[in-house]
Amino acid sequence: MATIKEIAEIAGVSVTTVSRVLNFDDTLNVQDETKRRVFEAADRLEYQIKDKKRKKRKLKLGLLCTYSPEEELEDTYYLSIRIAVEKKLDKEGFKKVTITSEDAVEDVAKLDGIICIGTFSKSMVEKIRMFGRPAVFIDAVGDAELFDSIVVNLKYSVTKVMDYLVDAGHEKIAFIGGRDIDSDGKEIMDMRMPIFASYLKEKNLLREEYVKIGGFTPKQGYRMGKEVLSVKDRPTAIFCANDSLAIGCYKAVQEAGLKVPDDISVVGFNDISMTKYLVPPLTTVHVPVDFMAETAVGLLSERINTNREISMHVSVPAKLIIRESVSRRKD
The domain limits of the chain are 4-52, 60-152+288-317, 154-286
CATH of domain 154-286: 3.40.50.2300
pTM to 2 decimals?
Answer: 0.79
End-to-end CA distance of the chain: 83
Q: Give yes or no for residue 85 having a pLDDT over 50.
A: yes
Tell me the per-residue pLDDT of 11-25, one tens digit each, with 9 for 90 and over: 888 888 888 877 766
Band of residue 52 on the pLDDT scale cut at 50, 70, 90: very low
How distant is the alpha carbon of residue 29 from its chain centre?
Answer: 34
Architecture of domain 4-52: Orthogonal Bundle (1.10)
* C-alpha count within 13 angstroms, C-beta hemisphere, residue 195: 18
Superfamily grouping for domain 60-152+288-317: Response regulator (3.40.50.2300)
Q: How many CB atoms lie within 10 A of CB 37?
A: 19
Tell me the percentage of the chain whose pLDDT exceeds 90: 67
Band of residue 51 on the pLDDT scale cut at 50, 70, 90: very low
Of 176, 156, 160, which is closest to residue 220 (Cα–Cα)?
176
Band of residue 8 on the pLDDT scale cut at 50, 70, 90: confident
Band of residue 45 on the pLDDT scale cut at 50, 70, 90: confident
- Residue pair 4/12 in contact (Cβ under 8 Å)? The answer is no
